[in-house]
Structure 1
């Protein structure tokens, strides 16, 4: 794998958060699919849209195999990232993307389970969020298999997804 591998794989911590598709988002719901999970916010100027664009390119490169891949974008900015905001934002990246929102406490608990940090930078309405920018790769059995740092290209994701799909 091109991602940093979890060796041995371990169960991905599950959670239940309101989803941008109108349902509860849980990892159990996506058993049988490869899940690419990342944390960010819709007002992000560079890292988040770059990451999501890369994941969109990877899904396109997978062709029919893309149906076996689900992208989950967990917000780190519950004050601004409403369900409608996330739905509209993620629609740009194509099918197979769902956002997870929630209360500050619920989101902090999910971040803690994954070792994700996030902090507000600046004041006023134009603040930014500094946050962990890795992408977690979760296999069809719901196990953490890899963590890809920001900056990898779509080919790296395609490689790792195809490895997991062959299992």
Structure 2
């Protein structure tokens, strides 16, 4: 089942007159607004089904974050930091309101937010509401929803078999389909039909014919391969596709004989112990419990403690300095002053929760 998938990009203008060192007497650790803009009002529902209106909390310091519960990493880090702030306000707790606004109303319903916050012990407001109301809230707070990025932000459906096509120019396609119980020939036919790829090919193991825009000739043909999970490589098949029975671990590939087989995408992502999030240069594995990403290879998952990787060139794919990745997969958390104006912003996830807490308390004491 396909769900509406969205991810957040918050835009803050760092140009002159928007953000920078303020002119007041207060000393903030986050990014201070030079001319604090008004915090736009909104009316939504909290995890208990109660109406929440932002303007009702004028006179208190308000923390506003835009997150969603299905987010596998970024939002979880932000929520964990907010939980730390919430639990360390001490005698200032009555003067501070913390708000998490969902960017995924299709899944973040009132009942889901109620269960989710209870399971994690989160006691601050988690807000949702009608799509039209939330869209207006995003616009007024300069929040952009990036549908393409979030489409890669959840684990893929389980139980899918993979068909890889590697063409003579070493470009490739990945087709995924549930082929359990089918023979390989029927699985290949169904997958190619589902992905609307033209094909006129025998069932191998070596076949002449056409896949996509590529037709074999006297110099090359199509060679059937299967994925060897133990060695994690594609192995040339010695039998036709119709003789192969598909189980949950069967993955096949048609590879042109004049291509570089090492360029074929793997039969299973992340060594079979995770799933890939993101795409292109920012793609990286989200590893299963008990496994971790190798420092020098974002697309692998190894058992924790089994690696001896001394690479000095490693950059975490969640690091803010990675440009396009940070833009497509990050957020801004706002601190609103008692006068209902945005005063401080923390961009991304690599901010210190103690420094954030200090800025909140500074505004409480203002």
Compute the TM-score of the two structures, normalised by the length of structure 2: 0.42
Instruction: Give 1:137's match in structure 2, choosing from 335, 351, 363.
Output: 335
Matched, 1:152 2:343: no
> Cα distance, 1:65 vs. partner?
1.2
Pairs within 5 Å for 1:65-104: 65-91=92-118, 92-95=120-123, 97-104=124-131
When residues 139 and 22 of structure 1 are mapped into structure 2, their CA distance, relative to the original with a 3 A threshold, is: same
What stretches of structure 2 of length at least 5 have no aligned partner? 1-27, 157-276, 278-327
State the distance in 2 between where 1:109 and 1:147 align: 21
> Cα distance, 1:37 vs. partner?
0.6
Pairs within 5 Å for 1:11-160: 11-91=38-118, 92-95=120-123, 97-120=124-147, 121-122=150-151, 132-149=330-347, 150-160=349-359
Deviation per CA, 1:109-160: give whole Å up to 9, x if none.
111111111223328x8589x6651101111221111111122121111110
State the distance in 2 between where 1:62 and 1:94 align: 14
Structure number with greater Rg is 2
SS of 1:39's equivalent in the other structure is strand
State the distance in 2 between where 1:83 and 1:6 align: 33
Contact map agreement 1:38 1:136 (CA 8 A) in 2: yes
Higher share in helix: 1
Contact map agreement 1:36 1:137 (CA 8 A) in 2: yes
When residues 49 and 62 of structure 1 are mapped into structure 2, their CA distance, relative to the original with a 3 A threshold, is: same
Contact map agreement 1:75 1:100 (CA 8 A) in 2: yes
Quick one: higher RCO (CA 8 Å, sep 6+), 1 or 2? 1
When residues 131 and 23 of structure 1 are mapped into structure 2, their CA distance, relative to the original with a 3 A threshold, is: farther
Deviation per CA, 1:61-86: give whole Å up to 9, x if none.
22121232211111111111101111
When residues 93 and 141 of structure 1 are mapped into structure 2, their CA distance, relative to the original with a 3 A threshold, is: farther
Aligned residues: 165
Contact map agreement 1:34 1:138 (CA 8 A) in 2: yes
SS of 2:357's equivalent in the other structure is helix
Q: CA RMSD in A?
A: 2.2
State the distance in 2 between where 1:145 and 1:48 align: 22
State the distance in 1 between where 2:44 and 2:357 align: 27
Compute the TM-score of the two structures, normalised by the length of structure 1: 0.88
